Structure 1
Amino acid sequence: MAQLVRMPLEDGGTLLIEAAGDQGSVPVSGAGKIVVQASETVRKAMSGIRSAADEVLGELRATEQPPSKVTVQFGIKVNADADFVVAASAAEANFTVTIEWNGAGTSR
């Protein structure tokens, strides 16, 4: 059975997100869906994800020869407790990082 998380937005609206897991919630309607009310806003839930991305980028930019381009890719999953977590990919990797140097400032 699908579980939906209703998360409040900063502007007063709400966002429904399909979540992983069913932890004994009660269906709100007969539509075969379970709705859980999140206790924090999307912005607050995303703050941990943003901090993790900032740390990854900060470490890569702090290298002796910082890359000219960094791409960090990861999936976000909402669990039954309405927490945002980094989702594992099919290869069980949490982050995919691509680093490029354009050749300027590098020594060979």
Structure 2
Amino acid sequence: PKYVVSSVLKNPTWNNTTVLHGEPMTAVGRLKQSLEGDILVEGSRTLANALRRHGLVDEYRLMVFPVILGSGAQFFDRTEDATNLRLTATHSFANGAVELTYQVLRGEEI
């Protein structure tokens, strides 16, 4: 299933897609409590940063590609609040890319 956070999309034409209604962070929180398994956010810098600010991220899976571009947008917003992470897995690909999986540490875990 696909879940979409959008203020303009009402009736998605994609198969097996649900638009989350109401305040987005509340809707994602409800979704997180009602589903088993992982919820993956792909390619939305704005949504990923909002989820982080609201404490709704449990894990980051970051892909590092062997290319230096020298410019581009930062993925994470500038913030005074640190998010402490623990590396839990790595995976290397034949093309030199690496996937790094980090658990978000909270409270006593830090």
TM-score by length of 1: 0.21
Higher relative contact order (CA 8 A, sep 6+): 1
Structure of higher CA gyration radius? 1
TM-score by length of 2: 0.21
